[in-house]
Amino acid sequence: MLPEIDDRHQELFRRALPFLRTRHNAVHTRVAYGEARWLLRRHPDADESVVLPAILLHDVGWSAVAEGELSTAFGPHMTNQALQRLHETEGARIAAGILAELGFAQPIVDAVVAIVDGHDTRTGARSLDDALVRDADRLWRYTPAGSRIDAQRFGFEADQHLAWLERNLDAWLSTPAARQRARDYLDEARRSAPQRPGGTAQRAGSGR
């Protein structure tokens, strides 16, 4: 079941949805929003008035990338860094427009735009709010929905995919809370993975 969008963010999400039609982004955004709320409960110093709009809008810029080019712009087979960067700069532009239309205060708009513009290509987080958005976005990969979708679109066997997630966990996630949550997701995925007679997990999503 997908996380609910809080009443106060419904209008924002509704405005974002037309820009989230590719790359399973509507599902990705809802799942990442749920992860952000979970992280915010463990980080009371963070500013949820920035983090939650930022996570809802962080990937609206993928709408500017042609469907046929998406597979080159993210994931383990990424070859086109310029397109990955484009989704950030277009995302920042689109996010600024949506937030302004909805009357968000300028300091919130500026903070959200600064996070969106670089959320994938920046090497590190600039602030706690930035770190929580980045971690919520990347935690998606470890969630049941994200893990299933990614394994299928990246062409991974289930066990190969889990190994890839485990190998990158500390590099992708920065807060201890997010790292622990990712480990918990991995443990759960391993417990529930169907096993072949030889002990190897089946291909992700096969026959389901």
Within 4-63, the residues that bind Fe ion by CB under 5 A are 59
Q: Considering the complex, state which of residue 126 and residue 196 has its C-beta at the smaller distance from Fe ion.
A: 126
Within 59-78, the residues that bind Fe ion by CB under 5 A are 59
Per-residue tokens: 142: 């470890």
Shortest Cβ distance from residue 69 to Fe ion (Å)? 15
Q: Considering the complex, state which of residue 75 and residue 205 has its C-beta at the smaller distance from Fe ion.
A: 75
Q: Does 159 bind Fe ion (CB under 5 A)?
A: no
Give the span between the Cα atoms of 61 and 84, in whole angstroms: 9
Q: Considering the complex, state which of residue 38 and residue 202 has its C-beta at the smaller distance from Fe ion.
A: 38
Give the span between the Cα atoms of 83 and 199, in whole angstroms: 39
Shortest Cβ distance from residue 25 to Fe ion (Å)? 7
Residue among 35, 97, 31, 9 nearest 60 (CA): 97
Within 81-120, the residues that bind Fe ion by CB under 5 A are 120
Q: Considering the complex, state which of residue 40 and residue 60 has its C-beta at the smaller distance from Fe ion.
A: 60
Residue of 117, 137, 150, 159 that binds Fe ion (CB under 5 A) = 137
Shortest Cβ distance from residue 120 to Fe ion (Å)? 5
What contacts 168, CB < 8 A, 6 or more positions away?
none
Q: Considering the complex, state which of residue 59 and residue 159 has its C-beta at the smaller distance from Fe ion.
A: 59
Q: Considering the complex, state which of residue 26 and residue 201 has its C-beta at the smaller distance from Fe ion.
A: 26
Give the span between the Cα atoms of 2 and 150, in whole angstroms: 16
Shortest Cβ distance from residue 152 to Fe ion (Å)? 17
149: number of Cβ within 10 Å: 20
Shortest Cβ distance from residue 160 to Fe ion (Å)? 22
Residue among 84, 151, 156, 92 nearest 120 (CA): 84
Shortest Cβ distance from residue 183 to Fe ion (Å)? 21
Q: Cβ(150)–Cβ(193) under 8 Å? A: no
Q: Cβ(86)–Cβ(64) under 8 Å? A: yes
Per-residue tokens: 32: 């990442």
Within 113-132, the residues that bind Fe ion by CB under 5 A are 120
Q: Cβ(116)–Cβ(59) under 8 Å? A: no
Residues that bind Fe ion (CB under 5 A): 59, 120, 137
